[in-house]
Amino acid sequence: MRCYRVVTFLLLIVSADLTGCGGGGSSEAAPGTARATGLSYSLSQTSVAAQAATTDSSIQSATISFTVNNFNSRPNGATGTAKVSWTGTAIENVSATFLNLTDSGNTANGSITISFWRGALLGAGVYPGTVNFELCFDANTATCNQLLAGGPTTIPVTLTVTGDPKPITTVSLAPPALALESPAGSAQGPSALLTLTLSQIASPGPYVTFSQPANGFVSAVSYEGVGSNNGRLLVSFIPPGTTPGVRSESLVVNFCVDSMCQHPLQNSPLTLALTYTITAAAGVNYNVQTIDVVANDIVWVPSRERIYALVSEQSLYDPGSLIEVDPQAAKTTRTVPLTGEPVVISASDDGSYIYIGFADRSVVQRIALPTLATDITITLGSDPTYGPYCAGFLAAEPGVPRSVAVASYSNGLLTGLDSTGVAVYDDTIARPMVFGATGHGQQANSLAWGSSNSTLYAYEPFMYDLFTVTVSRLGLGQSGAIDGVLLDSDIQFNGGLIYGNNGVIVDPISGDTKGDFLTIGTFTQSAFALDSTLNRAYFFFDADETPVSLWTLASFDLTQHTKVSEARTSGMSYFEGPISRGHPRLIRWGPNGLAINAQEGLKILSGSFVTL
């Protein structure tokens, strides 16, 4: 390592020590060929051999005197500059100082002081180094063009240390990676403490420096010792700004015994992987409004620009009804009373009909739009042993608004979960061929239409079976089945793939997993929505890494599966209504809206977070 000192002096004035290694850089301009006429300097010795021991409690040093002759013949107005630099791990510091003039008034004396690191730090051994010294006069001290005769001078230096070997100190950090987050618009960035452990005492120090990429988000790194071999490393991030997102980088942290880091610890530097999540904030990146109802299920009808919600009989407001909601104004525009507990809803893709299933009625009720009048009632039938069939999932047939696929279940009106298969109804008439998933488990099948109305996908979550069903005018026929597919309880089809509400993506033909948005085991409950136009997937879930009171709303790149943004909220939690057959639902509406039938009511969200 090479370090520098530059000393400037004037007649009869003690010089000032300007810069130092590790405390700020100094410019070492290439020496010129001009000489200061009539001036020269000489050194009292041209080499240094110093001794030290690992038991020394004081810092060893060596001094070399120098003399400047014909001092008064220096150029008018010129200042004098003494420049020193050094190499070698044993040298801590070198300084040059002018002392005074002799009685003759024409000679200046000075000294070069070489300070060594303590022997205990270095360990036993022989440590070579060099000190480079030169004097010059120049009106511009930065250029140092007029060198004094006799220089520059290279002084060999050797420090011999006797005693014990150098102690080997290593450092470790826990955790080895750091992920922090802060809501957008916060005035202060987050910070975290990491545990630093040394293999043995590193004294003095350790001193900590860090480096990061240009425009990095770390604002400061500091160290605090705790006991003899432990400490805390405080890493602070810059304020988050107002744009949410996820940034990642690596922080290189140097751990050294000395402040100038000539003596790094054995395994220094360490690289710390950092993730900085700026979460979307309510009132900054999105707005939230609430409609105070217990909504068992919701659907968005684009052609009507309305959300339709099924309100539980247990709701304090609008109980046992279908409500029409204007999401832009976040208000109910119309209410239709229903008989029974409505739990599942689907809308035709042309916006002409809404289909409603009940937890305590063996029917599917079809509502005509825009009148909201009951159009027909589809009777589902019953089992002689287990009683009436109820609709567990509904999926209006694309391109055929008067037809709907119904996944039904029996074995109890309110709590029964036994699947009784899937049928397609044209108005009130069931097609002859019914897809029977009976005996495969105890859950009604989740349904998703494929790229056309000739293919329907059914997922049976208890046995993890994904079925491909061919649809014709005669009804349904199984054309494929894949076992062991973990998709949780709700599926959607997009771009040839099946997406589950647990974030898993599956090829329905091969059964291969094509990716995932959420890490299995890091959450217990989730709802989701897909938007191929924006190339986004949205998930609402309880993330294990957050406090119990916080839930996460996250957006992902639909094709790359990478997280785009997320929000933490204590004002919304997963729907757990009074009737078990209700559906936790997250839906997209309008240009920049989301809606969630949360436990705290129907939540209407809108803002830039949705379209990031």
Q: Which of 117, 135, 162 is the last residue of a domain?
A: 162
Distance CA(458)–CA(475), nearest Å, equals 14
pLDDT of residue 56: 85
Higher pLDDT, residue 233 or 143: 233
Both 314 and 192 in one domain: the answer is no
Both 299 and 330 in one domain: the answer is yes
pLDDT at residue 71 is higher than 70: yes
pTM: 0.75
Both 313 and 236 in one domain: the answer is no
Q: Are strands 35-43 and 146-149 parallel, antiparallel or unpaired?
A: parallel
pLDDT of residue 169: 87
Helix (H, G, I), strand (E, B) or coil at 120: helix
Neighbouring CB atoms inside 10 A of 160's CB total: 15
Q: Looking at 15-19, 419-423, 604-608, which range is the least confident one?
A: 15-19
Q: Which tokens in the block code for residue 421?
A: 């298969």
Contact present, 598 and 291 (Cβ < 8 Å): no
Contact present, 50 and 58 (Cβ < 8 Å): no
Q: Which amino acid is at 486?
A: L
The confidence band for 147, taking pLDDT boundaries of 50, 70 and 90, is confident
Average pLDDT, integer, range 329-354: 97
Both 468 and 601 in one domain: the answer is yes
Q: Which of 279, 310, 326 is the last residue of a domain?
A: 279
Distance CA(371)–CA(376), nearest Å, equals 14
Q: Which residue has the tokens 């220089």?
A: 151
Average pLDDT, integer, range 565-575: 90
Distance CA(148)–CA(453), nearest Å, equals 94
Contact present, 95 and 84 (Cβ < 8 Å): yes
Both 272 and 297 in one domain: the answer is no
pLDDT of residue 76: 64
| Domain CATH for 476 | 2.130.10.10
Considering the chain, what percentage of its residues have pLDDT values greater than 90? Answer: 62
Q: Looking at 93-107, 247-261, 275-289, 541-555, which range is the least confident one?
A: 93-107
Q: Looking at 150-154, 159-163, 608-612, which range is the least confident one?
A: 150-154
Q: Which of 221, 245, 279 is the last residue of a domain?
A: 279
Both 547 and 468 in one domain: the answer is yes
β partners of residue 196: 173, 231
Q: Where are the alpha helices (DSSP H) in 176-268?
A: none
pLDDT at residue 386 is higher than 50: yes
| Domain CATH for 203 | 2.60.40.60
pLDDT of residue 101: 53
The confidence band for 259, taking pLDDT boundaries of 50, 70 and 90, is confident
Higher pLDDT, residue 169 or 325: 325
Q: How many domains does the chain have?
A: 3
pLDDT of residue 66: 87
Contact present, 253 and 172 (Cβ < 8 Å): no
CB-count exposure of residue 215 (10 Å: 0-12, 13-18, 19+): exposed
| Domain CATH for 28 | 2.60.40
Average pLDDT, integer, range 22-37: 42
Full residue range of the structural domain in which residue 156 is found: 3-162
pLDDT of residue 403: 98
Average pLDDT, integer, range 342-350: 97
b/e map of 326-340 (b: 16 or more CB within 10 Å)? ebeebebeeebebeb
Average pLDDT over the chain, rounded to whole? 86
Q: What are the tens digits of pLDDT across the range 425-436?
A: 999 999 999 998
pLDDT of residue 12: 30
Q: What are the tens digits of pLDDT across the range 499-512?
A: 999 999 999 999 99
pLDDT of residue 303: 97
Both 158 and 178 in one domain: the answer is no
pLDDT of residue 37: 61
Q: Cβ neighbours of residue 577 under 8 Å, at least 6 residues apart?
A: 294, 296, 312, 314, 599
The residue ranges of DSSP E strands in 22-124, in sequence order, are 35-43, 48-53, 61-69, 79-87, 91-101, 108-116
Average pLDDT, integer, range 60-75: 83
Contact present, 555 and 571 (Cβ < 8 Å): no
pLDDT at residue 586 is higher than 70: yes
Both 109 and 51 in one domain: the answer is yes
| Torsion of Cα atoms, 139 then 144 then 150 then 156, to 10° | 140
pLDDT of residue 340: 94
pLDDT of residue 6: 45
In order, the DSSP letters of 501-531 are: TTSEEE-TTT--EEEESS-TTSEEEEEEEEE
Both 337 and 424 in one domain: the answer is yes
Considering the chain, what percentage of its residues have pLDDT values greater than 70? Answer: 87
pLDDT at residue 358 is higher than 80: yes
pLDDT at residue 352 is higher than 60: yes
Q: What are the tens digits of pLDDT across the range 200-246?
A: 876 777 888 899 988 899 999 988 888 777 889 999 999 999 999 88
pLDDT at residue 420 is higher than 90: no
The confidence band for 80, taking pLDDT boundaries of 50, 70 and 90, is low
The confidence band for 3, taking pLDDT boundaries of 50, 70 and 90, is low
Both 31 and 109 in one domain: the answer is yes
Both 225 and 335 in one domain: the answer is no
Both 341 and 483 in one domain: the answer is yes
Q: What are the tens digits of pLDDT across the range 390-409?
A: 999 999 999 999 999 999 98
